[in-house]
Amino acid sequence: MIELFSYEFFRNALWAALLASITCGVTGSYIVARRMVFISGGITHTSFGGIGIAYYLGLNPILGAAVFSVLSAIGIEYISGKTNVREDSAIGILWSLGMAVGIIFVFLTPGYAPNLMSYLFGSILTVGRTDLWLMLALAAVVVFFFVYYYNTILFIAFDEEYARAHRLPVMVFKYIIMSMIALTIVLNIRVVGIILVISFLTIPQATANLFTQNLKKMMIYSVLLGVAGSLAGIYISHYLDIPSGATIIFAFVVMFGIAKLVLNLKIRRVVKQEILTRENY
């Protein structure tokens, strides 16, 4: 196991796992707390449109995905807040549009169609230094923003009417947070891919939510669970020679199952103890 650290690709994968756990742990906790999982799924699949356009124009696919995702995230907030279109309908429209645009432009790209498997399913072992620097910059921005404006974010997440009554810039914060979520999704496409990134944003957070309702603690627990699941997935995928992204998500699901089982056993033990106590009295 120790000899793996001599390889640069493995060290890069570990750093990517740490940074992905930070960004997904923080933004994902906000997503789960506000029950926005469907929104993040829409942004995730919409990013494929940016990848297709970037391939057609000969640009960096990640750059195309970032621009397309941020615009889509802002568009979802604007459409659902300023028009009569329901939020789930707006997400479904942009979700379908993004996938359709991506497929069309990939088909129109001259020459052989590019291999999109790494973008659809991810490969954390192929993360390079440029990806790591971008992920580090995003992690720093996300952590600073959520720490500095924590109380405002808390009001918006759980009591938006209270925030509006106190004249807080609710829409500005919602646009900023949605943009951060979009960038988190895009930069983690290389880690677990478009198809699986939604799991990175929800499963560790759902596991943390089993043990705490406090948003701050939920973020911290989600980061720790993300790191643990990512490391387990990387080691297992390396030794079994199976896709790393899917293995990481599988590790997350196993962790959730174990946590749920432990919690259920604890609840049964408490209930049984209460019943015995009442019978003795």
Please report the pLDDT score of residue 193 as a whole number: 74
Of 219, 214, 225, 277, which Cα lies nearest the Cα of 248? 225
Asked whether the predicted pLDDT for residue 116 surpasses 70, the reply is: no
Distance CA 124, CA 168 (A): 39
Inter-CA distances, 135 with 45, 68, 77, Å: 20, 18, 25
pLDDT digits (tens, 9 = 90+) for 145-169: 999 998 888 888 777 777 778 788 8
Contact 118, 3 (CB under 8 A): no
- 271 phi and psi, to 5 degrees? -65, -45
Sequence-distant (6+) residues with CB within 8 A of 156 are: 163, 168, 170, 173, 174
Could you give the number of structural domains in the chain? 1
CATH number at residue 206: 1.10.3470.10
* Domain extent at residue 169: 2-280
pLDDT digits (tens, 9 = 90+) for 123-152: 777 787 888 888 899 999 999 999 999 888
* Neighbour tally for 20: CB within 10 Å: 28
